[in-house]
Structure 1
Amino acid sequence: MKNKLDNRKDNVDRIQYNIDRTILNCELADEMIEKTDDPKMQETLKEKNDRREEALRGMREEIRDEALDKERGYK
């Protein structure tokens, strides 16, 4: 059985897609926070958005690294 080659050609596009979806989810959660009167739900959504913001920082760092490596021809 042969190992698959590590194909990273689409990493930047995939990461950008994930960033876009995460931002959209943050915006949708913000809308729900505005609409709901349930304090527990508001707190849950705020916590999720905090985690999403942390994930976004990591994804942005990863996309920078991938783009730099792609420029240098490493991948």
Structure 2
Amino acid sequence: MKNKPDDRRDNVDKIQYNIDKTIENCHRADEMIAKTSDEKTKKELKEKNERRMESLDSMRSEIKDEARDKKNGYN
């Protein structure tokens, strides 16, 4: 069985899509936090948003690496 070649041409686009969706999910969670009176739900959503923010930092770092690699001729 042969491995697929590493095709990274659209990695920046994929990462940006994931960043956009993660931000959208953060906003939706914030809306739910504002609407609910259930403290347990609020706590869980806030914790989830904290993890999302950490993921965003990682994705932003990764997109910079990908863009730099693309600029240097690595596709």
- TM-score normalised by the chain length of structure 1: 0.97
| Whole-angstrom distance in 2 between the partners of 1:70 and 1:40 | 45
| Whole-angstrom distance in 2 between the partners of 1:6 and 1:41 | 41
- 2:14 match: 14
- 1:61 match: 61
Give runs of aligned pairs for residues 1-75 of structure 1, distance below 5 A: 1-75=1-75
| Whole-angstrom distance in 1 between the partners of 2:59 and 2:50 | 14
Identical residues among aligned pairs (%):
65
Task: Give 1:3 shift.
Answer: 1.8
Instruction: Report the 3-state secondary structure (helix = DSSP H, G, I; strand = E; otherwise coil) of the residue aligned with 2:7.
Output: coil
Task: Give 1:21 shift.
Answer: 0.2
Task: Give 1:20 shift.
Answer: 0.2
Measured on the aligned residues, the alpha-carbon RMSD in Å equals: 0.6
Structure 1: 4+ residue segments shifted above 4 A: none
Q: How many residues align?
A: 75
Structure 2 unaligned runs (5+)?
Answer: none
Structure 1 unaligned runs (5+)?
Answer: none
Task: Give 1:69 shift.
Answer: 0.3
